[in-house]
Amino acid sequence: MDGLARGGGPIDSAECASRDTGGVGKDTCETLQAERKRLLGLLAAKQRGGLRDPEIRKNIEIIAAHLADTTDLHRRKSPSQVARSEEAMSRIVQLLGELDESLCLEVVLDTRRCVDHVLIDCADVTLLRQRTAAEYAEQEATLPTWRGFYGPEPPDILGDRAIDESNEVVAVTRARLHRLVAARFWLYRPLRARRTLRIRAVTVLGPVLVLAGAGLGVALWQARVAGWTVVLAAAAGLTGAALSGFIKFRDEVRLGAQVRQFMPFYLVQLTVGAVFGLLVVLVVAAGWLTSETNTAVIGIISFAAGFSEPFAVGLVTKVAERTSV
């Protein structure tokens, strides 16, 4: 899961690399280690409210792991590569300074994504192999995986032959990792919005279903009292509609636009279910549907009418046929 740019747009590797790195100490390796300890300390302390969010905690843990990778990378660098490594670590330290200002999910994801890009840019063959192996091993997930993006063939960099920094395979692997990170970023934003909308919708649908069920229970308890048969039929129809709508939401409603359109229609459907329940009372009393007139039969048929729209439409069709004779 990759980060979101503040302001809504994507942050590519060039933008992440171009951020100001002023104010970073000379011994960036020690600074990076200190930043990693600070992040782990924040996770251990649990003092700040944002750290109760499991998604924020998970992404901070991933950033801390990236910092360890960056430190190991610096230690492996040859003298000719130290300058580039120092520059990368300086950029990462600056990004972590921004993270210290806010621990909201948007900033944490933004920081993680930028650290990802910087680390991929300066990675040596060893780190690229480690990162590619981890990506290739990942199975199906909500966001794109290496296998889903590039196919099941093993990446060339994971072969047994020796590869140096100038090899074309290194450049191709680096570019592929960048594209995979960018693709995850673009897909995660709408997925996160849809998930948030669905969670909010469930906080409405759940209580409605509970209240409908409770109302049906009260109506069943009072069904022996004269006049409560009508209440029972309406409650059964409403409960059937509430349950049917909840199942439809769970199984079919996925997109954000679908969630927004579903909610008002769901509330109207509850009224429709209650109306169908009342219709059942009239149809049964007229003897057009069944000769049984006890409350249990009325309740069952009313629930079915509220739950299944085809059943209710068929019932109305039968009524229309009888009245037209």
Q: Which residue has the tokens 């594209």?
A: 179
Q: Kindly state whether residue 234 falls inside one of the protein's structural domains.
A: yes
Give 139-173 pLDDT, tens digit per residue: 776 777 888 888 888 888 887 776 666 678 888 88
Q: Kindly state whether residue 112 falls inside one of the protein's structural domains.
A: yes
Say whether both 181 and 206 belong to one domain. no
Say whether both 129 and 180 belong to one domain. yes
Instruction: Measure the CA–CA gap between 103 and 50, rounded to whole angstroms.
Output: 6
Residue 27: the pLDDT is 65
Say whether both 67 and 124 belong to one domain. yes
Say whether both 124 and 221 belong to one domain. no
Instruction: Measure the CA–CA gap between 154 and 156, rounded to whole angstroms.
Output: 6
Q: Is the pTM of this model over 0.75?
A: no
Q: Kindly state whether residue 5 falls inside one of the protein's structural domains.
A: no
In the chain, how many domains are there? 2
Say whether both 37 and 120 belong to one domain. yes
Q: Kindly state whether residue 138 falls inside one of the protein's structural domains.
A: yes
Say whether both 228 and 118 belong to one domain. no
- The parent domain of residue 241 ranges over 196-324
Say whether both 170 and 91 belong to one domain. yes
Q: Is the pLDDT of residue 12 over 70?
A: no
Contact 233, 298 (CB under 8 A): yes
Contact 60, 48 (CB under 8 A): no
Residue 227: the pLDDT is 67
Residue 199: the pLDDT is 83
Q: What are phi and psi of 149, to 5 degrees?
A: -85, -40
Say whether both 33 and 171 belong to one domain. yes
Higher pLDDT, 324 or 118: 118
Structure tokens at 62: 């991933």
Contact 237, 212 (CB under 8 A): no
Higher pLDDT, 6 or 64: 64
Say whether both 169 and 242 belong to one domain. no
Q: Is the pLDDT of residue 133 over 50?
A: yes
Q: Kindly state whether residue 62 falls inside one of the protein's structural domains.
A: yes
Residue 85: the pLDDT is 66
Q: Kindly state whether residue 8 falls inside one of the protein's structural domains.
A: no
Domain boundary (162, 192, 222) is at: 192
Domain boundary (192, 225, 242) is at: 192
Domain boundary (142, 159, 192) is at: 192
DSSP of 251-282: HH--SHHHHHHHHHHHHHHHHHHHHHHHHHHH
Say whether both 46 and 174 belong to one domain. yes
Residue 269: the pLDDT is 87
pLDDT band at 56 (very low <50, low <70, confident <90, very high): confident
Q: Kindly state whether residue 250 falls inside one of the protein's structural domains.
A: yes
Give 178-194 pLDDT, tens digit per residue: 888 888 877 777 777 77
Say whether both 43 and 188 belong to one domain. yes
How far is the CA of 120 from the CAs of 9, 88, 102, 147, 176, in angstroms? 21, 10, 25, 19, 10
In terms of average pLDDT, the best of 149-153, 253-257, 312-316 is: 149-153
Give 88-111 pLDDT, tens digit per residue: 777 877 777 766 656 777 778 888
Q: Kindly state whether residue 163 falls inside one of the protein's structural domains.
A: yes
Instruction: Measure the CA–CA gap between 135 and 144, rounded to whole angstroms.
Output: 10
Q: Is the pLDDT of residue 87 over 60?
A: yes
Structure tokens at 32: 């990076």
Say whether both 112 and 215 belong to one domain. no
Q: Is the pLDDT of residue 293 over 50?
A: yes
